Amino acid sequence: MNVRKVTLALLSGLAGAQNACGTAGVNCGEAEALQTGIAQQWSGFGTPVKLGTWSRPQRCPPETDFGRLEDLLPQKHFRGPLSGPASYFKRVPPHYLGHHANFSKCERSVYIDVGAREFDSKEGMLSTFAVYPQLLGFDEFYAFEAASGFYKLPPQPDLVRRLQRQGMSAARAASFARRHFFLQAFIGARSNPSTTPPTLGFSDLLKTMLGLQPADAVVVKMDVEGYEYDIVRTLLADGTHALIDEILLEVHYGHPAMMRRFNWCRMPKPGWQFWCSYSLQNATAMYRALRDAGVYAHHWP
């Protein structure tokens, strides 16, 4: 590896998809201290879904068959290879819900990308369409990214061309930009306007801002640099997980291979990478808790 490659590897390991606390323009306040508290409490509890509290409680899509989920991958620390025959992209996408459930029967179909980085990066929305073509038929797209300067849609003619290249119909591609919303914000467990940029609580976002119901199809991709434990715990505790049909969730913890490859959990700054206090068991418990509560949960990527 030459110096440039090492630097790039370091940067890609450190630059989070959101919540890059300490980088220019990003102030996470007391988030690290709060998260360390959560890290000490995580036990993966779940609340059974109380459908009676929703105005459109009929779950959609109804076909969700948990027997079709892939096995979790704790033996590889949820980070298998990203290329080659055992690649994530060969192993997991065939298990995505869209392969056996029909989203188009639901009232709204909503795709939410949290920690969106760049629209056309390797893990961005456009690339996700390539591995999950059923999302091309969705009605609404929401992208959140805390760091400025990463996320923007290409100019309309280029955008339409690229969406069509992924297989989106001409009519849907033409209206995509109007069905797509981007906000520079942190996503956390609870809303907090005092951070920079402000933090939107994920439960509040789903329930109050987007007004979602179990009758809507909701697919989430989330990469929130350790905040996933707090967010998932809150979703499970307040029952908002009933709104999420499927989640592609990146997990962070004191991961031995990532420590070696990307210097995870070796930053000199105290409080940085609070998620180093989570273990493989905690990560596994989080995915299990989601699945046990009826959320079709995959690791990513």
**Between 50 and 100, CB nearer to ligand NAG:** 100
Helices H / strands E in the chain, number of each: 10, 8
Nearer to ligand NAG, 208 or 281 (CB): 281
Tell me which residue has its CB nearest to ligand NAG.
281
Q: Which of 80, 14, 120 is nearest to 300 (CA)?
A: 80
Pull the structure tokens for residue 70.
């892939």
Helix (H) or strand (E) holding 145: none
Q: How far is the CB of 283 from ligand NAG (least distance, A)?
A: 9
Place of tokens 């999420």: 244
- Kindly tell me which of 123 and 245 has the beta carbon lying closer to ligand NAG: 245
Place of tokens 């369409």: 129
Based on the number of CB atoms within 10 Å of its own CB, is 83 exposed (0-12), middle (13-18) or buried (19 or more)? exposed
Bond prior to 197 in cis (omega within 30° of 0): yes
Residue 105 Cβ vs ligand NAG, minimum distance, rounded to whole Å: 5
Give min distance, CB of 253 to ligand NAG, in A: 9
Shortest distance, position 104 Cβ to ligand NAG, whole Å: 5
Q: Work out the burial of residue 189: count CB atoms within 10 Å of its CB; fewer than 13 is exposed, 13-18 middle, 19 or more buried.
A: buried
Positions in the binding site for ligand NAG (CB under 6 A): 39-43, 102, 104-105, 279, 281-282
Q: Which is nearer to ligand NAG, 105 or 266 (CB)?
A: 105
CB of 61 to ligand NAG, least distance (A): 9
Q: How far is the CB of 103 from ligand NAG (least distance, A)?
A: 8
* Per-residue three-class SS string for 200-214: EEHHHHHHHHCCCCC
Asked if 248 and 222 count as a contact pair (C-beta separation under 8 A), the reply is yes
Taking the C-alpha atoms of residue 33 and residue 39, their distance in angstroms, rounded to an integer, is 10
